[in-house]
Amino acid sequence: MDSLFASLLPFILGSALVPIQVIITILLLKSPQNGLLKASLFVVGMTSLRLLQGLFFGLILTGSAAVEDSVSGKGLIVSTLLMILGILLLVTAYKQLQKEDAPDATPPKWLAGIDSLTPFKAFGIGFGMLLIGAKFWVFTLGAIGVIGEAQLGQPASTIDFMLYVLLAESLLVLILLIRVMLPKRSKSVLESISAWLIGYNRQIIMIVSLVFGLLFFYQGVSGLLG
C-alpha cells in the first residue's frame, strides 16, 4: 500500500496543484447568488468526469497485457504516459516563460465573468475543463495505470481510485469546507488567496510544470529503458 501511494503521489500532487481550478472555485464562491452551490457543482463536474474515466479506462488498462507484463516495476503504458506528461508540462513551462498561454489555460476575460455563471454551467465548466485539458487526462490515466499494475483486485482498485480522486481534489474540498464552517471569516481569506493566485498564476504554472515535467519525464524514460 505504501509503495502504491508513493507511485500515485506525483499524479495526486500534479492534479491538486493546478492553480486555475482553485481560482475558479474561489471566484464561484464569491458569486452574489448561490455561490456555494455553484462552486460545489463545479467540483462535482470534475469528479464526474474522473469517475467516468476510471470506469471506462480502468477496464482497458487493468486488463491490458502491457500493464500485467511490467518492466522494472513500471508498465509500458504508465511509463509512456509519464513521459508524455513530462513533455506536456515542460512545453507548458516554456510557454509560460515566453509569456504565452498554456493550451488549456483560461482567458482572463472569461475568468472575470465566472461569478455570473448558473449552477448548471458551473458543473459544465468543471466537467469540460478536465475533458479538454490534456494534462488532466494524463494525470488520471497514469493513476489508473499505476493502480492496475498493483493487481489488487476490483474492489481494492476501485477504493484506491476513489482515494486518488478525493486527494486530487483535496484543495477544492478544503476550500468548500472552510466556506461552510467559517462563512464570514473565510471571505477575506479566500479573496486574498484568489488575488495572489491570479497575480502569480503564470509563475506558479511555470514552476510547477517545470518541476513535475522533469520528474515525470525522468520516471517515464527510466521505466521504458529499465
The total number of structural domains that make up the chain = 1
pLDDT digits (tens, 9 = 90+) for 197-219: 777 778 888 888 898 889 888 87
pLDDT above 70 for 193: yes
Lowest mean pLDDT among 54-58, 70-74, 190-194: 70-74
Calculate what percentage of the chain has a pLDDT beyond 70: 85
Domain boundaries, position 175: 2-225
Task: Please name the residue that has the C-alpha cell 498564476.
Answer: 201
What tens digit of pLDDT does each residue of 161-183 get? 999 999 999 999 999 999 998 88
Residue 200: per-residue pLDDT: 78
Q: How confident is the model at residue 75 (pLDDT cuts 50, 70, 90)?
A: low
pTM above 0.85, yes or no: no
**Which grid coordinates belong to 6?**
508513493
Q: What is the pLDDT of residue 71?
A: 39
pLDDT at residue 196 in the model: 81
As a whole number, the mean pLDDT across the chain is 81
Q: What is the pLDDT of residue 226?
A: 64
Q: CA 169, CA 12: separation in Å to the nearest integer?
A: 9
Residue 74 has pLDDT above 50, yes or no: no
pLDDT at position 142, please?
Answer: 82
Instruction: For residue 180, give Cα distances in angstroms to 41, 76, 87.
Output: 15, 44, 39
Give the tens place of pLDDT for each residue, 27-43.
898 888 888 999 999 99
Give the CA distances from residue 148 to residues 83, 154, 159, 160, in Å, rounded to whole numbers and listed in that order: 18, 9, 12, 10
Distances 94 to 105, 139, 190, 199, 212 between C-alpha atoms, Å: 14, 20, 29, 19, 13
- According to the model, what pLDDT value does residue 70 have? 43
Average pLDDT over every residue of 117-128: 93
pLDDT at site 164: 95
